[in-house]
A = this chain, B = another copy of it.
Amino acid sequence: MLTRSEEDHIKAVYALLQEGESAFTKDIAERLRTKASSVTDMLKKLSGKSLLKHEPYYGAKLTAKGQAIALQLVRRHRLWETFLVERLGFGWDEVHEVAEQMEHVANEKLIDKLDEYLGHPHFDPHGDPIPDKQGKLRTRKTKRLNTCKPGESVRIAAVSETTDGLLRLLDAKGLRIGTTLSVQDVHAFDGSMDIKPQRGSAFSLSKDVIHHLQVENA
């Protein structure tokens, strides 16, 4: 049985490995709002449990066993987020912290039944894929909105590296998962983009917003 702290470290390593070759001490510490020395301690401990390989000074990578655990945690987190939004009526900007706690409730039957209750969803409220019981992720070909050219028509598939503030801004602009929009203009000066949702009139989005939007062709 893993502790909450062990689980959070494994999840942080997993997330960082999505971005790069190796998960570095500093980045793990930053994610978990802890100190590098604490992370080193934990990497040693998890390494001893064969959940990851720690190459001192060169970061950590998950073992197959560690990755399987990470995927289960991601599964739990995203299923609970889905439950909170779809059943309890939480806003998509309110669920992360709660799911961060709920993901540590360890009971296989609970997650199986929750998954079934929700109708085996493939994506969470932020558009992130939910691993199935075997840890398999549904992949899609998406690109970031900032890479799109004027004239393109796309659908919002996910919001990446979400923060509550970003999600509230999107809410305020009426943008959500599934919203279809066309790119009207891109301004080189500030990297902003003029877009027009399928329903509603056009408006502008800053560079800071558009690179968080993962879109797929409409």
Residues of B within 8 A of A98 (CB): 105, 107, 110
Q: Is the CB of B101 within 8 A of A97?
A: no
The verdict on A27 contacting chain B, using a C-beta distance below 8 Å, is no
The verdict on A170 contacting chain B, using a C-beta distance below 8 Å, is no
* Count of interface residues, chain A, beta-carbon cutoff 8 Å: 18
Number of copies: 2
Q: Is the CB of B106 within 8 A of A101?
A: yes
Main SS of the interface on chain A?
helix
A-B contact pairs, 12 of them (CB 8 A): A84-B110, A87-B117, A88-B110, A88-B113, A88-B117, A89-B113, A97-B107, A98-B105, A98-B107, A98-B110, A101-B105, A101-B106
Quick one: closest B residue to A94, CB to CB?
B109
Quick one: closest B residue to A98, CB to CB?
B107
